[in-house]
Structure 1
Amino acid sequence: MGYVEKRGAYWRGRYKIEDGKYGTVSDATGAVVKFATKREAKQAADAEEVSVRRGEWRDPAPLGQETFGEYASRWYAAQDLAASTMQNYRRHIEEHLLPDFQDKALAGIVRTDVDIWEKKERAEYAASSVKTWRSTLHLILEDAIDEGLIASNPAARRRGRGKRAGRSRDRSPEKIVTDAVGILLAAERAALLSGRDDEFVAVVFKGFTGQRWAEVVGLETEFVRPRAFRVEWQLYELDTGELVRCPPKDDSYRTLDSPDWLSALVLDHIARAKPKPCPCHGKRYVFRGQGAPRTGGHHGAKLVDVARLAGVSTGTVSNVLNRPDRVAQATRAKVERAITELGFVRGGVASEYAPHWRRNGFGTWLFTPAVSGWYPKKAPQEARPVPILGEPWPGIPARGRGATGRADACWLPIAKGLTPHGLRHTHRTMMEDLGTEKVLMDERMGHIDGSVSARYAHVTIGMRQRLLLGLTERWEGALDVRRRMCPSSPVRVLDRMLRGDQ
């Protein structure tokens, strides 16, 4: 008689066709019928087996003849996952799997096809990326097995086969990290590149909390608490540019203890920025974006550059632009000459700041130049050093028309290759160096340790206090090092710290 198999949330019926050969109850197209109950599956399997014995059974539409492209489209439409995961799956399928497998029948894909595809991809992309794409292919084909469309998974890896490369086969590039001094210097440069304090606060905040980028961008003011920050939401940026407000990765809700100095830094920033509800989510976020790039590219002159060249305050430049009758003729003439010389294009008050950062804008044009000292390649320009005016130290980025000609220095690298996500690795490394207990490190990073020993480890007040004391000592040590380099800074918030005003 027929029998049944439990497959996740459904049952499927199986029946004997002949010795050593079994079939699965399928519809007219050859797709496996998914039964809601065990009894229904058993009845259908018995009916098929009776048909076999009477000689009335007919082989359904050949299984596995559906093309990979058709099945992948149907498979993707059936998924109900986080927006970020759906985006990644779509990218894997459309950009890396369909070009090679789209028109192949599922049953026609063999292990050799997968190996040839992987070898071709590895010649062009990082091994870690290709491994991820193969995992997606394996997942899709595994579900095809569950539906009875194919008998085995050609993307499954077999142990002990292929070239022996040991641990180096899937070795990823070295992850670059820095220390507290590196965080401070990178934060200062990022603020100089942006022309405001926001980036200084954000880089320091990320380096000393270890939050993910989307969690930093999605930090709402209501979750900034006395001596703590609550991770409740993130803003995940999709390929379409939409920022989706969703729970943190793997539901890693957590409360991060904060040293007094870091809480004061963030609270002072909020008081100064006075965040307003964003138009896209209606929430007040701690950090704002920079706004649309000015005419002439990302490196166009800013209001602060005009003020610096004219030797006046940014408020005076604003008055010249908006209320010229309030400014003395001589001062107005200096500002107007600076505007002409720099090629400054007025952005308007409403477009001064965007509601949120964009990953590419922050990482490519602020963070990477800050840590490497180089602007990236962007047609028609090649990669080039950040041109700076050497005084005051550590140098002011020269922007606008003739920037390279006006510059007299450039920055040395702080940690070339460091990325915004590398600050998360940096924070974990810093905690390791401070001797922080693993249970507290996992809590702070939003990681889950499923080991038996972790069930018996618990975070204590003493652990938290020791970590906060260690982070404070590292920060104060970084300030001392920076103070010895130069006792002042063009970045206002850092300058107050160096002078002991905060």
Structure 2
Amino acid sequence: MGFAEKRGDYWRGRYKRSPGVYATVTDDQGNTIKFRTRRDAEQAANDAEAQVRSGAMRDIASGRATFGEYANIWYDRQDLAASTMQNYRRRLEEHLLPTFEEDALADITRKAIADWVKKERAAGYAADSIRSWRALLHLILADAVDDGRIMVNPAAQRKGRGKRGGRSQHRGAEKTITTALGVLLIAERAALLSGRDDEFAAVVSAGFTGLRWGELVGLETKYVRPGALRVEWQLYELDNGQFHRCPPKDGSHRTVVTPDWLTDLLMGQIRQTRPEPCPCHGFRYVFRGFRPPNHAAQQTGPKLIDVARHAEVAIGTASAVLNDRAVVAEATRARVMAAIEELGYRRGGQTGMAAPHWRRNGFAMWLFRPAATGGYPAKAPRPARPVPVEADPWPGVPVRGRNAPSRADACWLPIAPGLTPHGLRHSYKTLMIELGTPATLMDAQMGHADGSVQARYSHVTDGMTGRLLDGLTEVWRAALDERRKLSSLSPVPLLDRLLGEETGQ
């Protein structure tokens, strides 16, 4: 649809000439026509665009339509999930159109496609990414065959053509996983990086339920129930920064059974944060977003480390006072409480406004990855670097601000290099296998569908569920015991309380 554009004391008409390309209404000599009114400019622009479309359709009918013209028509008639439409558009605009946009459909050959694949591979793109772009090209050209635009699909490949026999050459790198103790330690570090308990509860929940990232971010408070989580929705982050509320991947609505200790953890998170309806969708979500850690130094309000310094005690001692641990002397307790009162400290990192939802990239880059690897990633102009920490209390509190490395006592060692938030889902599946969980129950927990005949005769029983929950509880308690051997205190208030409860303090 054409539109009018104000240019000083006149209007000009603008219309779409091809996907992503707009032109101006001109006269026979190529000069811009200056319209006196907006309506005249819009009418001329619509007429010009109609002529372009009719010409494109004539080209299509004669088999000489360009790939760009057909791709535009093909995309407009798709009716898929917002996330899929976004991925298709990105792959088209960034990888397919730059090479094939001006080529007639009938002129696209197997050699041209093979040359394009080699070019993308030489540019350093991952093999999985190139395959996904080629798959979209195959899909578009297959529809062009069905529409009668071309006779054959040049992107079609015979299985095994031009490849050596044996194992598949398309296997991706092995996914990094971690143990229950690894989940706990990464969760603790993530909470230290953010300065609040939210990230501890979130990482532990992901590691012991196998929720996908979108399902974790989109977990609403009403779906946290005794002994279970109900997965009804996910939040998918679009390129424009908005969050699209949609059903879980592959329609995997399910009830994920959870041990009592995890239910208590999530209920405590809800009680502490008291979530308000988000401005995006009007629903209450268990987890709130957070600004990147490199902005933490700019946050207003004192932190726990400020309270400890003001009271001249260790951070672990200040945390023990907040958690009402009996191990602290009364005089020290009074000094810490006085510091809290004087500084106006608020527990749980609730100083300032939290974002409604986590950004996937920000969470992975500035919270999860440093927690798992012990280092911040490279981001221009700064190179990759270790996380500088104060050695006391263990495992070390991140030091921020100018000249942080020189003020730090140590840095974190890696826990699980290469681990991603999605790797927690793989870790949970592996943990269930270790616990001897039947495949039927594992599929129910993960949201996977098994279409085999055997699966139709397999059902989840209370006995299966009970054994899985008992196993998860045993593994969690063992992880806490191992963590307690490293240090009986934690600068993360939530974990510090858990460690104290297990020892009866």
TM range (shorter): 0.7 to 0.9
Q: Distance in 2 between matches of 1:298 and 1:70?
A: 48
Are 1:405 and 2:406 an aligned pair? yes
Q: Distance in 2 between matches of 1:364 and 1:448?
A: 31
**Which residue does the alignment assign to 2:39?**
none
Give deviations 1:275-334, integer Å, cap 9, x for gaps.
Answer: 1111111111000011x458x7466567315434434879xxxxxxxxxxxxxxx979x9
Given the superposition, is the C-alpha separation of residues 460 and 105 from structure 1 closer, same or farther in structure 2, using an over 3 Å criterion?
same
For residues 286-435 of structure 1, the aligned pairs below 5 Å read 286-290=286-290, 292=291, 297=295, 300=298, 303-304=302-303, 305-311=305-311, 351-435=352-436
Residue 348 (structure 1) shift: 10
Asked whether the equivalents of residues 292 and 362 of structure 2 are also in contact (C-alpha less than 8 Å), the reply is no
**Which residue does the alignment assign to 1:90?**
89
Given the superposition, is the C-alpha separation of residues 118 and 298 from structure 1 closer, same or farther in structure 2, using an over 3 Å criterion?
farther
Q: Distance in 2 between matches of 1:441 and 1:293?
A: 35
Name the SS for the 1:400 alignment partner.
coil
Residue 207 (structure 1) shift: 0.4
**Which residue does the alignment assign to 2:144?**
144
Name the SS for the 2:72 alignment partner.
helix
Give deviations 1:424-449, integer Å, cap 9, x for gaps.
Answer: 01111111111111111111111111
Give the AA of the match of 2:75.
Answer: Y
Asked whether the equivalents of residues 292 and 366 of structure 2 are also in contact (C-alpha less than 8 Å), the reply is no
**Which residue does the alignment assign to 1:199?**
199
Deviates more, 1:400-409 or 1:262-271: 400-409
**Which residue does the alignment assign to 1:322?**
none
Give the AA of the match of 2:431.
Answer: M
Q: Distance in 2 between matches of 1:75 and 1:307?
A: 61
Name the SS for the 1:207 alignment partner.
helix
Name the SS for the 1:256 alignment partner.
strand
Name the SS for the 2:240 alignment partner.
coil
**Which residue does the alignment assign to 2:253?**
253
Asked whether the equivalents of residues 109 and 154 of structure 1 are also in contact (C-alpha less than 8 Å), the reply is yes
For residues 5-154 of structure 1, the aligned pairs below 5 Å read 63-123=62-122, 124-154=124-154
**Which residue does the alignment assign to 2:488?**
487
Given the superposition, is the C-alpha separation of residues 204 and 116 from structure 1 closer, same or farther in structure 2, using an over 3 Å criterion?
same
**Which residue does the alignment assign to 2:217?**
217
Give deviations 1:110-144, integer Å, cap 9, x for gaps.
Answer: 11111111122223111111111111111111111
Give deviations 1:247-294, integer Å, cap 9, x for gaps.
Answer: 11111100011100000000011111111111111111000011x458
**Which residue does the alignment assign to 1:242?**
242
Given the superposition, is the C-alpha separation of residues 159 and 168 from structure 1 closer, same or farther in structure 2, using an over 3 Å criterion?
closer
Q: Distance in 2 between matches of 1:188 and 1:239?
A: 30
Unaligned runs of 5+ in 1: 1-27, 33-59, 315-329, 337-346
Residue 71 (structure 1) shift: 0.8
**Which residue does the alignment assign to 2:285?**
285
Q: Distance in 2 between matches of 1:310 and 1:165?
A: 69
Residue 453 (structure 1) shift: 1.3
Name the SS for the 2:285 alignment partner.
coil
Q: What is the percentage of aligned positions where both structures have the same residue?
A: 59
Give deviations 1:45-67, integer Å, cap 9, x for gaps.
Answer: xxxxxxxxxxxxxxx97643111
Residue 237 (structure 1) shift: 0.3
Given the superposition, is the C-alpha separation of residues 407 and 30 from structure 1 closer, same or farther in structure 2, using an over 3 Å criterion?
closer
Deviates more, 1:176-185 or 1:447-456: 447-456
Give deviations 1:198-249, integer Å, cap 9, x for gaps.
Answer: 0000000000000000000000001111111000111110011000111111
Name the SS for the 1:284 alignment partner.
coil
Given the superposition, is the C-alpha separation of residues 496 and 213 from structure 1 closer, same or farther in structure 2, using an over 3 Å criterion?
same
Q: Distance in 1 between matches of 2:481 and 2:390?
A: 24
Residue 378 (structure 1) shift: 1.1
Residue 169 (structure 1) shift: 2.0
Residue 361 (structure 1) shift: 1.4
Q: Aligned pairs, how many? A: 423
Give the AA of the match of 1:372.
Answer: T
**Which residue does the alignment assign to 2:333?**
none
Give deviations 1:328-349, integer Å, cap 9, x for gaps.
Answer: xx979x979xxxxxxxxxx996
Given the superposition, is the C-alpha separation of residues 311 and 109 from structure 1 closer, same or farther in structure 2, using an over 3 Å criterion?
farther
Q: Distance in 1 between matches of 2:60 and 2:235?
A: 46
**Which residue does the alignment assign to 2:466?**
465
After superposition, the CA RMSD in angstroms is 2.8
Give the AA of the match of 2:229.
Answer: F
Given the superposition, is the C-alpha separation of residues 280 and 114 from structure 1 closer, same or farther in structure 2, using an over 3 Å criterion?
same
Given the superposition, is the C-alpha separation of residues 61 and 257 from structure 1 closer, same or farther in structure 2, using an over 3 Å criterion?
closer
Are 1:496 and 2:497 an aligned pair? yes
Given the superposition, is the C-alpha separation of residues 148 and 489 from structure 1 closer, same or farther in structure 2, using an over 3 Å criterion?
same
Residue 171 (structure 1) shift: 2.1
Residue 161 (structure 1) shift: 2.2
Asked whether the equivalents of residues 60 and 149 of structure 2 are also in contact (C-alpha less than 8 Å), the reply is no
Give the AA of the match of 2:147.
Answer: E
Name the SS for the 1:244 alignment partner.
strand
**Which residue does the alignment assign to 2:44?**
none
Asked whether the equivalents of residues 279 and 356 of structure 2 are also in contact (C-alpha less than 8 Å), the reply is yes
Name the SS for the 1:107 alignment partner.
helix
Asked whether the equivalents of residues 376 and 387 of structure 2 are also in contact (C-alpha less than 8 Å), the reply is yes
TM-score where L is the length of structure 1: 0.79
Are 1:267 and 2:267 an aligned pair? yes
Given the superposition, is the C-alpha separation of residues 135 and 492 from structure 1 closer, same or farther in structure 2, using an over 3 Å criterion?
same
Asked whether the equivalents of residues 201 and 265 of structure 1 are also in contact (C-alpha less than 8 Å), the reply is yes
Residue 31 (structure 1) shift: 6.5
Q: Distance in 2 between matches of 1:168 and 1:159?
A: 11
Q: Distance in 1 between matches of 2:187 and 2:339?
A: 33
Q: Distance in 1 between matches of 2:78 and 2:267?
A: 41
Residue 165 (structure 1) shift: 6.5
Asked whether the equivalents of residues 301 and 399 of structure 1 are also in contact (C-alpha less than 8 Å), the reply is no
Q: Distance in 2 between matches of 1:231 and 1:331?
A: 43
TM-score where L is the length of structure 2: 0.79
Asked whether the equivalents of residues 31 and 149 of structure 1 are also in contact (C-alpha less than 8 Å), the reply is no
**Which residue does the alignment assign to 1:183?**
183
Q: Distance in 2 between matches of 1:84 and 1:484?
A: 45
